């Protein structure tokens, strides 16, 4: 790995805030790096308040959205709450549907089928709405570019309210209201809400308009926090306030549909758990079957039915995990068989690979061969692919350069999807390799780790760890701090661990007791450590519990000789 230090914070500012807050120097430095330079800003950062959320009516069209829903409520129209099949979409639908259900006699949730309808608003979804007598669709986490679909719905007598957070195209759909802070004409102060966050602002506005108790809104924050974590949006501003209180809700009083998964953790839930434990389960429904199964679980209130639906989701997730591990193994074998280890890109395909997991497989392949990757599933004469990239390399632009061999593609810098004809596979593969080889920079072919600060082992104390935890929730633009320490020495007790002895359990000389660390997949470094030669580490701080005793533990990201 390349080790990249962040810019050193201004020492004068570090000393000033260290004195104001009475915190260790590393904490003061971390705060300055995050743009927190005075007592009041630090107070707001450490204690995020719901009172500091912006007025939802600052969002363009919010007044129109509220008026249209109020009209639908007064006239008891039939409503559809429509969202995408990922975590952000399913939590958004669950949130708005749960909130509006007491106000409407006829309201249905709708999620498009990943395979039949694809991403976003579909003509089929509008046709279903028409058949059911729907006159208003609230679309969440999608719709900002659905100009034709919204126009088509209008011919069927159906209005749309769009709640999206993606970048708009050249034309805004002619809906009753279009809520999207990324609209150029929207003056909303915070631009980085996820789809579920926009849904929350909508129900916040309705609560104000209908003069309901705003305290009731806190019960929806478990869904918002789950979406923020899963959608990997910046953990700043309103997102951090919503995630902070959402985590609290998940720890104290989560909805029953989420409680089942949280109880398996046997510890207080964190953002990391949402990303790696809860979100994959919610996503598994849409990957292996239909995402409406996830919504059914999240909106259910009958405890017996919840247990049954949660088991169903667990089965989907077990199936998803087994499937993606099998396909990853087959893909790695295929790369070796074709002797393609030294390419600049990875492009692999097989007929029976499940379309719902090829994106996960692409990410897994990057862990072994760090390069832009496309994994295809073959369906008849058509191939559907998922694309993942490495840091700094724009795969969307790379696909655009290959478009002569592509039927259709979409996505963004680091992840995309595409469809090609089977007969064009080899041509696409050759062209993609040529484009990547031509455009990728040497440093983009090596994984990197960015670290915040260089610290000495004696600075790592339980107090430091406790304050670091208060910097959370962590996420983009507020990542868990990564430290570097130079010239550490083995205490004599480091060893290889794990069922295949591939991991490294470090025991590092430190006063008064050795510090323990874990480096996954790095047992290869053990001979250097045992030679008593000094080495450098980059790591995050964690806490380990053993026999009821808590102690600091280093989660090592990389290590190398000093």
Q: Which long-range contacts (CB under 8 A, 24 or more apart) does 201-205 make?
A: 201/56, 201/59, 201/62, 202/56, 202/62, 202/65, 202/66, 202/96, 202/138, 202/161, 202/163, 203/95, 203/96, 203/99, 204/53, 204/56, 205/56, 205/57, 205/62, 205/65, 205/66
Cα torsion 39, 217, 256, 120: sign: negative
Say if residues 246 and 282 touch (Cβ distance below 8 Å). no
Q: Give the E-state strand segments of 393-442 in sequence order.
A: 408-411, 415-421
Helix%, strand%, coil% for the chain, nearest 5: 45, 20, 35
Angle, helices 292-299 vs 256-263, to 10°: value is 100
Say if residues 95 and 200 touch (Cβ distance below 8 Å). yes
Instruction: Report the mean per-residue pLDDT for the chain.
Output: 95
Give me the phi and psi of 268, to 5 degrees please.
-60, 135
Cα–Cα separations (whole angstroms), residue 445 to 192, 365, 543 = 30, 14, 33
CB under 8 Å to 149, separation ≥6 — which residues? 120, 121, 122, 123, 126, 143, 173
548: pLDDT confidence band, cut at 50, 70 and 90?
confident
Cα–Cα separations (whole angstroms), residue 200 to 164, 194, 222, 448 = 12, 10, 11, 36
Q: Which H/E stretch holds residue 347? A: strand 346-350
pLDDT for residue 116 is more than 90: no
Cα torsion 383, 384, 388, 394: sign: positive
292: pLDDT confidence band, cut at 50, 70 and 90?
very high
Nearest residue to 514 via CA among 462, 562, 457: 457
Tens digit of pLDDT for each residue in 234-275? 999 999 999 999 999 999 999 999 998 999 998 899 999 999
513: pLDDT confidence band, cut at 50, 70 and 90?
confident
Alpha carbons 313 and 10: distance in angstroms, whole number: 50
**How many H-runs (helices) and E-runs (strands) does the chain carry?**
20, 19
CB under 8 Å to 318, separation ≥6 — which residues? none
Angle, helices 25-33 vs 11-21, to 10°: value is 120
Query: Bridge-partner residues for 417, per DSSP?
Result: 386, 410
Alpha carbons 539 and 517: distance in angstroms, whole number: 9
CA 84 to chain centre: 15
Q: Count CA within 13 A, CB hemisphere, residue 82.
A: 31
Percentage of the chain beyond pLDDT 90 is 92
pLDDT for residue 547 is more than 90: no
pLDDT of residue 118: 83
Nearest residue to 107 via CA among 140, 72, 74: 72
pLDDT of residue 443: 94
Q: What is the DSSP-derived secondary structure letter of residue 278?
A: I
What tokens does 84 get?
A: 């995408």
Say if residues 374 and 411 touch (Cβ distance below 8 Å). no
What tokens does 177 get?
A: 């209201």
Top CATH class, 338-445: alpha beta
pLDDT of residue 67: 98
pLDDT of residue 519: 96
CB under 8 Å to 456, separation ≥6 — which residues? 485
pLDDT of residue 559: 96
pLDDT for residue 546 is more than 80: no
Residue with token string 């009958």: 302
Q: Is 77 left (phi over 0), alpha (psi -120 to 50) or beta?
A: beta
What tokens does 93 get?
A: 């639908």
pLDDT for residue 359 is more than 90: yes
pLDDT of residue 53: 97
pLDDT of residue 410: 83
Tens digit of pLDDT for each residue in 454-492? 999 999 999 999 999 999 999 999 999 999 999 999 999
Query: Bridge-partner residues for 170, per DSSP?
Result: none
Tens digit of pLDDT for each residue in 187-234? 999 999 999 999 999 999 999 999 999 999 999 999 999 999 999 899
Rounded average pLDDT over 347-376: 95
What tokens does 387 get?
A: 């694309």
What tokens does 76 get?
A: 């008891």
pTM: 0.93
Say if residues 330 and 293 touch (Cβ distance below 8 Å). no
Pick the CATH number of 56-311 from 3.40.50.880, 3.30.465.10, 2.60.40.420, 3.90.1640.30: 3.90.1640.30
pLDDT of residue 352: 87
Tens digit of pLDDT for each residue in 92-101? 999 999 999 9
Nearest residue to 398 via CA among 414, 419, 383, 385: 414
**Biggest alpha carbon–alpha carbon distance for the chain:** 79
What tokens does 134 get?
A: 């729907």
Say if residues 536 and 558 touch (Cβ distance below 8 Å). no
pLDDT of residue 391: 94
Q: How many CB atoms lie within 10 A of CB 97?
A: 24
Domain boundaries, the chain: 56-311, 338-445, 450-561
The fold adopted by the segment(s) 450-561 is: OB fold (Dihydrolipoamide Acetyltransferase, E2P) (2.40.50)
pLDDT of residue 511: 83
Nearest residue to 494 via CA among 479, 483, 503, 504: 504
pLDDT of residue 207: 97
Rounded average pLDDT over 102-130: 94
Cα–Cα separations (whole angstroms), residue 490 to 75, 458, 503, 551 = 74, 16, 16, 18
**72 against 260, higher pLDDT:** 72
Say if residues 323 and 354 touch (Cβ distance below 8 Å). yes
Question: Judging by beta carbons within 10 Å of its beta carbon (0-12, 13-18, 19+), is residue 19 exposed, middle or buried?
Answer: exposed
Write down the H helix ranges in 62-111. 62-74, 87-100
Write down the H helix ranges in 483-545. 526-530
């Amino acid at each position: 790995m390349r080790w990249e230090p962040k810019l050193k914070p201004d020492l004068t500012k570090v000393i000033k805030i260290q004195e104001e807050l009475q915190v260790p120097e590393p904490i003061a430095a971390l705060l300055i790096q995050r743009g927190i330079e005075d007592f009041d800003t630090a107070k707001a950062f450490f204690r995020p308040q719901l009172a500091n959320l912006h007025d939802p009516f600052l969002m363009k069209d919010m007044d129109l959205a509220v008026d249209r829903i109020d009209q639908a409520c007064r006239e008891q129209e039939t409503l559809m709450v429509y969202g995408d099949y990922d975590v952000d979409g399913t939590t958004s639908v669950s949130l708005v549907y749960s909130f509006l259900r007491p106000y409407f006699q006829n309201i249905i949730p709708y999620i498009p089928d990943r395979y039949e309808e694809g991403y976003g608003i579909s003509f089929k979804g509008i046709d279903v709405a028409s058949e059911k007598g729907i006159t208003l669709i609230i679309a969440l986490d999608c719709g900002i570019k659905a100009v034709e679909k919204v126009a088509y719905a209008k011919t069927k007598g159906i209005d749309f309210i769009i709640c999206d957070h993606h970048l708009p195209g050249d034309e805004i759909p002619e809906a009753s209201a279009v809520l999207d802070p990324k609209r150029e004409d929207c003056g909303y102060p915070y631009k980085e809400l996820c789809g579920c966050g926009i849904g929350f602002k909508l129900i916040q506005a309705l609560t104000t308009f209908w003069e309901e108790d705003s305290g009731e809104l806190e019960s929806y924050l478990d869904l918002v926090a789950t979406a923020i974590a899963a959608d990997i949006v910046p953990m700043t501003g309103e997102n951090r306030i919503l995630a902070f209180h959402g985590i609290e809700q998940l720890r104290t009083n989560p909805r029953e549909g989420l409680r089942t998964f949280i109880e398996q953790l046997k510890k207080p839930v964190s953002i990391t758990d949402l990303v790696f434990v809860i979100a994959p389960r919610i996503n598994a429904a849409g990957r292996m079957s239909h995402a409406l199964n996830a919504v059914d679980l999240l909106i259910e209130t009958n405890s017996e039915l919840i247990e049954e639906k949660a088991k169903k989701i667990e089965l989907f997730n077990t199936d998803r995990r087994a499937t993606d591990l099998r396909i990853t193994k087959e893909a790695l074998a295929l790369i070796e068989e074709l002797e393609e280890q030294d390419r600049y890109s990875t492009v692999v395909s097989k007929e029976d690979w499940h379309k719902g997991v090829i994106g996960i497989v692409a990410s897994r392949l990057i862990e072994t061969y760090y390069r832009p990757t496309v994994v295809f599933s073959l369906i008849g004469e058509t191939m559907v692919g998922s694309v993942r990239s490495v840091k700094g390399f724009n795969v969307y632009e790379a696909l655009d350069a290959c478009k002569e061999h592509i039927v259709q593609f979409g996505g963004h810098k680091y992840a995309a999807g595409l469809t090609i004809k089977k007969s064009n596979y080899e041509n696409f593969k050759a062209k993609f390799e040529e484009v990547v080889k031509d455009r990728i920079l040497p440093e983009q072919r090596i994984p990197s780790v960015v670290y915040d600060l260089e610290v000495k082992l004696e600075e790592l104390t339980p107090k430091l760890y406790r304050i670091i935890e208060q910097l959370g929730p962590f996420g983009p633009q507020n990542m868990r701090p990564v430290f570097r320490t130079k010239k550490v020495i083995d205490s004599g007790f480091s060893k290889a661990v794990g069922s295949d002895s591939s991991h490294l359990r470090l025991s590092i000389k430190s006063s008064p007791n050795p510090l323990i660390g874990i480096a996954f997949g790095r047992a290869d470094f053990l001979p250097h450590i045992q030679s008593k030669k000094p080495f450098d580490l980059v790591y995050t701080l964690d806490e380990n519990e053993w026999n009821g005793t808590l102690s600091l533990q280093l989660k090592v990201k990389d290590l190398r000789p000093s």
